[in-house]
Amino acid sequence: MPNILLTRIDNRLIHGQVGVTWVNHLGANLILVANDEVASDEVQQSLMEMVLPDAIGTRFFTIEKTIKVINKAAPRQLIFLVCKTPQDVLRLIEGGVPIKEINIGNMHFKTGKQQISSTVSLDDDDKKTLRKLHDMGIKLEIRRVPDEKIEVDILKYI
């Protein structure tokens, strides 16, 4: 069983809050970004790695590769799993990745999305996917940083 400390949805993937604040709070030593696009984009990977302390390892895997290798993680790997969308997380869970809780940190607003907090906006597909995750028994929370109080009850929006 992999040591997944937290799974976070953040369309920015790795940035200051993820790379410093959350990593320190969790005690993670590995950030695994599971996203098909970023897995093949070395420029984006390099930019994301720039914000991390040297002691933190990174992996950039496709959703499929994550499903195939996550259960081979060494016990010493304390994994912070970061995905871009709820749909990516659902695919991971349906593929057998043992995720019990999801932190939703940032989902940008764009036309067709309903803003439900200062950093989270959802379209109909996001709502449907989050409802499915909730119905599977996955705990959902919206929180930008660890010491922030959870203020939004996501269930009333999905």
Q: What residues are annotated to the active site?
A: 15
Closest CA to 13 of 64, 50, 53: 50
How far, in Å, CA of 23 to CA of 44, rounded? Answer: 19
Domains of the chain as residue ranges with CATH: 3-147 (3.40.35.10)
pLDDT in tens, 5-35: 999 999 998 887 777 889 999 999 999 999 9
pTM: 0.92
pLDDT in tens, 39-94: 999 999 998 888 887 889 999 999 999 999 999 999 999 999 999 999 999 999 99
pLDDT band at 139 (very low <50, low <70, confident <90, very high): very high
pLDDT score of 97: 97
